[in-house]
Chains A and B, each alone.
Chain A
Amino acid sequence: MIPELLSALPLTLAITFVAIVAGFGLALITTTFRVRRVPVISQLADLYVSYARSVPVVLQLFVSFYGLPLLVILIGGDDFLTATIAAMVGLSFYHGGYLSEVMRPAYLAVDRGQHDAADSLGYTFRQKITRIVGPQAVHIALPGYGNSIIYLIHNVALVMYIGAADVMATAHLIMERDYNQYQFPTYLVLAVIYSILCLIAWLIIRAFEVRSPMYATKEAPVRAALMPSV
């Protein structure tokens, strides 16, 4: 049972990975438009975030699974969409919208004075974001980002509803094949697999959390003393 379940793990990981990368890109673009307030585009970005946060994830997956082929046909393409691609697209949009609501408050939480100082010294918007506001916002956003990754991993389990063969779907196939005799042990193994995935994600984020805020913690004196002068 376990090897069979693990054989479906690469697909779960692939969907998660694509959603993390594409979702991050979407969140970055969406957040930029939400904080810079460009007419029409910013309102559309708000609408998208509202959709991603308020519509149940399983419903977003159905929208993606049934809606994307219609969209592809509408623009004259061939229907190449599989359940896996629909799952990747659906979860990327969900994660991007959710993550934007982590990034935006983090950006807004950076003290207004940091913007003023950078502006008064002649930094461009891009320089200000990459050198001053961005690094501080990342530090603020990290715990929320960790949570959003964990929610994403949980929600990948829902892709079985649109027929993607991830670990959850594979577990159901195994249980049905065995006439539902081993439901509890199968679910237990699943629980362990998801726990390990979330633990790994948490450890990675935690490593970044420890690294990034050295300027804001009491450990700073030791670290500064150990660092070579700039």
Chain B
Amino acid sequence: MLDIHDLKLSYGNSKILNGVNLSVKRGDVVSIIGPSGTGKTTLLKCINYLAKPASGTITFDGIRMDYQRADKAAIQAIRLRTAMVFQQFNVFKNMTVIQNVMDPLVVVQRKSKEEAREIAARELERVGLSTKQDHYPSQLSGGQLQRTGIARALAVRPDVMLFDEPTSSLDPELVGEVLKVIKDVTSSGITSLLVTHEMQFAKNISNRIVFMDRGVVAADGSPSEIFDAPSNPRLAQFLSSEHTLQ
């Protein structure tokens, strides 16, 4: 359902993406791992055009876009069918929890307030935030903020969920509550791309692991292929350093 071909992106002289190719099937839960600075987050941002690649193409179901001739309609069509969960949460600070979840439904999807409120209440219950729905972001913990971000993303009924290091900014005590919600989401069958440094978690929830190194996909396979028998020397080195740290 999602095909990315030869994606290239540079910031000044530093090349971030060096020709990334990635293909995702409906229902896939793909974890993207790799050292910092190898373009994992950038790749995710390119999918919904938060980062603008210099070249490459993306095909999303029937929508095909050449990044050199990116058109607004295609960008909007892809954005409406994906939803992103951010490392820094990016919950709207001027809105309460339930307003955060309702607003995209009312403003972008033009749903009635009643319907939006109903959907928002349901999604907030799913992430365990029913009692916090009238709180402002300044009153919430990191874990609660991230769960708000996940509820907001789920409420728009995306075809693909994009998780960008959803637990990297969290206090270790709060990581568990967010991972539990992500596990619940991914096990419901929604196609997901997850950039993460939580190796064990990635292994448990994914049916595919992509290892990125120096701006390209260096290894791609099932969790057991990647973690138990890494064929790529860089991958083996990366996993052993992660293992040493743990």
List residues of chain A with CB under 8 Å of any chain B CB: 111, 113-114, 116-123, 127, 131-132, 135-136, 139, 214-218, 220-221, 224-225, 227, 229-230
Contact = CB atoms under 8 A, between A and B. Distances in A.
B79 A220 contact: no
B102 A230 contact: yes
Given A123-B108, A215-B94, A229-B133, 18 more contacts: A113-B88, A113-B89, A114-B90, A114-B93, A119-B49, A119-B50, A120-B50, A120-B82, A121-B104, A121-B108, A121-B156, A127-B108, A132-B92, A135-B94, A136-B94, A216-B93, A216-B138, A224-B139
Interface of B: 45, 48-50, 76, 79-80, 82-84, 86, 88-96, 98-99, 102-104, 107-108, 117, 133-139, 149, 152, 156
Contacts of A218: 138
Contacts of B98: 229-230
B236 to A, nearest CB: 34
A121 B83 contact: yes
A227 B156 contact: no
A131 B99 CA distance: 11
Given A131-B107, A230-B117, A117 B92 contact: yes
A221 B139 contact: yes
Contacts of B149: 117
B83 A120 contact: yes
A230 B96 contact: yes
A129 to B, nearest CB: 12
Nearest to B44: A120
B138 A220 contact: yes
